[in-house]
Each structure stands twice: as C-alpha cells, then as structure tokens.
Amino acid sequence: MRALNINFHHLYYFWVVAHEGGVTRAAERLGVAVQTISTQLGLLEQSLGKSLMSLQGRRLVLTEAGRSALTYADQIFLLGEQMQEALAQEELGRTLRLTVGISDALPKAVAYNVLQAALAMPGASQRLRLVCFEGQFESLLGDLALHKLDVLLTDRPYSGNASVRAFSHPLAEYEISLFGTAELAAKYSENFPACLQGAPLLLPTRNTALRARLDQWLEANKVKAEIVGEFEDGALMKTFGARGLGLFPGPAVVDSDPDVQQQIVSVGEMAGVREQCFAISNDRKIKHPAVEAILENGGNWLKAK
C-alpha cells in the first residue's frame, strides 16, 4: 500500500479555513495565530503540489483543486469523528450522545416536543445523553458543518451553499396564538382581534422569519398596537410576557407546558400565521439513531400537541 504524503494536521487547518470562509475567523475558532494557519496551508499546498486557495480582492476562495480537496476532507473528518464517538460509546457502556443545536428563534416548547422522538427511543432513558446548545442560526450552522452538532433544529430551511453539505428536513407546521398574563388576557380577549387596538405587544426582531408574518397579520386586521419590546430570543420574550410587560406570539403547543400554564393564557389564535420547524443534518456515512428518530417522528410529536 502506498504511503500517504499528507499531514492531516495541515489538512484540518485547511478544512476549518474553508468552512469558516477565511484565515482570521479560522484562527479565532482554533485559538491559534493567523500566521500559524497561513504557514500550514502553504505546507499542505506544497505537499500536494496544488494551489487550494486563491486571493480574490480581500477574500480567500477555493480553487478547483481546493473544492475537490474539501469534499474529501469533509468525509475524512466526519468518519474520524464518528470513529471517536463509536469508541467513546463502548467505553461509556454504550452511552449514545446526541448533540443538538437549537436556533434562538425556535420556541423552546417546539424544540422540547420534537426531541421527544429521540427521548422515546427504546432504552433512551438508560443510554441517551442529550446535549443542547442555543444560538443564532448562522453560528450553529457553522458548528454543524464542523461536525460539532449532530442536528440543528430551527424555524427556517437551509438555503445551501458550496462550503456546507447539509440537508433540510421539514418536520411540522404549527399555529401561532397570542398570549399574555391573565390580567392582560381579560382586558384584550373580547372581540379578538379588534380588541388589540393600542394593546402592548412584544414581538420578535425583524431579522426573524416570524416577524414579517406578524406584521402582515396586524396590517390585514387593521390593528395598530403599541410595540413595547422586540426580542431576538423567543424564550426571553416569553419571560417578559409572563411578567406582564405585554402580549406576545407563541406556538399553540406552549399550552402543553405546565410551567407556562400557571402564568399565561391564550388571548386568541392569529389565524393564518403559521410557523415551521426544520431539522438540518449532515450527510453522515454512519447514521445517528437519535437523529433518524427525530427526522422520522419529530413532527408527529409536535402535531400530537
């Protein structure tokens, strides 16, 4: 068998740079100096006899050889990670680790219900270890590309680009209702939605998919409410709403959360305003059983609510 003339440490640095879109961001993620990465990229190109990246303006872009190398690097490091996971599971008595990214725009009650598909697997209570990370969609997508996550739950599909091989799986749609404390609900629930004139509202920020639908609903119903707060994090918006700052939108499944039921009630359904939940996954050679359970049944758990 021919010996490989590849330094996999150098290849890993190239892989991170390609997914991060630049040397500076890769250096920040890896915690090393920019010069270190540049030097090792040069050594990799020298050993392969090919230029993998070229400078266009101020941006590094992949050459044709670089795109080909990235395809193989994705498979190499994915298999390497899966090998480590498999060996670690044997040492931990077959513990199965599921690392999930949850977009901050996705309601936590929705994420909880979707994850029930994994938690309900036979033997999951004894062997499944669930690890959840919350953050912005773009950041979590980068972690998925680097195989730090097994699956990403979000409110939007992945549009796709050349540097990240990932696939969107629509799980379910759910209705949106307006919620508030019992005191606010009593004031604004009669003759809904006309009663919302001048009502204090908490809304998602304008960079979320839901905000545009809410603005359209308010305009269509000729409602001129008072927006008293805008939140990127849906859980934070719900917390302020539960304290009486204003009425806020949320999925109908929030009614199934006993902690929330004690503090807030439904004011009315925002007819025509629907949200979707997506699972975004990598193209893995070895399928993760918990991810497969989410893709197959996660939507059913959400619809059941």
Given a cut of 60, whether residue 16 has pLDDT beyond it is yes
Fold entry, domain 8-86: Arc Repressor Mutant, subunit A (1.10.10)
Fold entry, domain 173-273: D-Maltodextrin-Binding Protein; domain 2 (3.40.190)
Asked whether 101 and 294 are in contact (CB, 8 A), the reply is no
Compare 9 and 115 and report the one with higher pLDDT: 115
What is the percent of the chain where pLDDT is above 70? 86
Same fold, 92-170+277-304 and 173-273: yes
Compare 214 and 85 and report the one with higher pLDDT: 214
pLDDT at 87: 65
C-alpha span between 200 and 83 (Å, rounded): 53
**92-170+277-304: CATH superfamily:** Periplasmic binding protein-like II (3.40.190.10)
> Domain-by-domain residue ranges, the chain?
8-86, 92-170+277-304, 173-273
Asked whether 261 and 255 are in contact (CB, 8 A), the reply is yes
Q: What is the mean pLDDT of residues 78-89?
A: 67
Amino acid at 228: V
C-alpha span between 270 and 257 (Å, rounded): 20
Q: Which residues contact 76 (CB under 8 A, 6 or more apart)?
A: 8, 11
pLDDT at 1: 40
Given a cut of 80, whether residue 259 has pLDDT beyond it is no
In this prediction, residue 109 has a pLDDT band, given cuts at 50, 70 and 90, of: confident
Q: What is the mean pLDDT of residues 138-145?
A: 84
**pTM for the predicted model, two decimal places:** 0.65
pLDDT at 114: 92
Mean of the per-residue pLDDT values for the chain? 83
